[in-house]
Structure 1
Amino acid sequence: MVPPAASSSPSPPIDGEVFRRVLSRFPTGVVAVTGVVDGEAAGFAVGSFMSVSLDPPLVAFGVARSSSTWPRIRPSGSFCVNVLSEEQEALCRTFAAKGSDRFRDVDWVPAPTGSPIIHGCLAWIDCELTDQHRAGDHDLVVGQVRDLGARDTSPGPLLFFARQFGGFRPLARTGS
Structure 2
Amino acid sequence: MVTATDTDGHLHGLTLTSVTSLSLSPPLFLACLADSSETLGAVLRSGGFCINYLAQSQRAISDVFATRSGAKFRNVAHRIRPSGQVEIAGALAVIECTLHERLQAGDHSIVIGRPVAMHGGDEEPLIHFRGAYRRIGAPLPPAAA
Normalising by structure 1, we get a TM-score of 0.72
**1:34-70 superposed Cα distances (whole Å, 9 cap, x missing partner):** 1112123221111120111111111111112232331
Is 1:168 aligned to 2:136, yes or no?
Answer: yes
Q: Could you tell me which residue of structure 2 aligns to residue 29 of structure 1?
A: none
Pairwise CA distance, 1:112: 3.1
Q: Which runs of 5+ in 2 are unaligned?
A: 139-145
**1:73-108 superposed Cα distances (whole Å, 9 cap, x missing partner):** 321001111001111111111111013301011111
Count, aligned residues: 137
Is 1:58 aligned to 2:32, yes or no?
Answer: no
Is 1:81 aligned to 2:51, yes or no?
Answer: yes
Pairwise CA distance, 1:169: 4.8
Q: Could you tell me which residue of structure 1 aligns to residue 82 of structure 2?
A: 112
**Aligned partner of 2:69: which letter?**
G
Contact 1:33–1:81, Cα closer than 8 Å, also in 2: yes
Is 1:34 aligned to 2:3, yes or no?
Answer: yes
Q: Could you tell me which residue of structure 1 aligns to residue 65 of structure 2?
A: 95
Contact 1:130–1:142, Cα closer than 8 Å, also in 2: yes
Contact 2:3–2:39, Cα closer than 8 Å, also in 1: no
| CA 169–111 in structure 1, closer or farther in 2 if over 3 Å, else same | farther
Contact 2:52–2:88, Cα closer than 8 Å, also in 1: yes
Distance 2:77 2:47 in 1: 23
- Structure whose alpha-carbon radius of gyration is higher: 1
Distance 2:35 2:12 in 1: 17
Is 1:157 aligned to 2:129, yes or no?
Answer: no
Contact 2:101–2:112, Cα closer than 8 Å, also in 1: yes
Q: Taking every aligned residue pair, what percent have the same amino acid on both sides? A: 35
**Aligned partner of 1:151: which letter?**
G
Q: Secondary structure, in 3 states, of the residue corresponding to 2:73?
A: coil
Q: Could you tell me which residue of structure 1 aligns to residue 143 of structure 2?
A: none
Distance 1:55 1:161 in 2: 30
Pairwise CA distance, 1:137: 2.5
Q: Which runs of 5+ in 1 are unaligned?
A: 1-31, 171-176
Consecutive aligned runs of 4 or more in structure 1 exceeding 6 Å deviation: none
Pairwise CA distance, 1:72: 2.9
Normalising by structure 2, we get a TM-score of 0.86
Q: Could you tell me which residue of structure 1 aligns to residue 142 of structure 2?
A: none
Is 1:49 aligned to 2:16, yes or no?
Answer: no
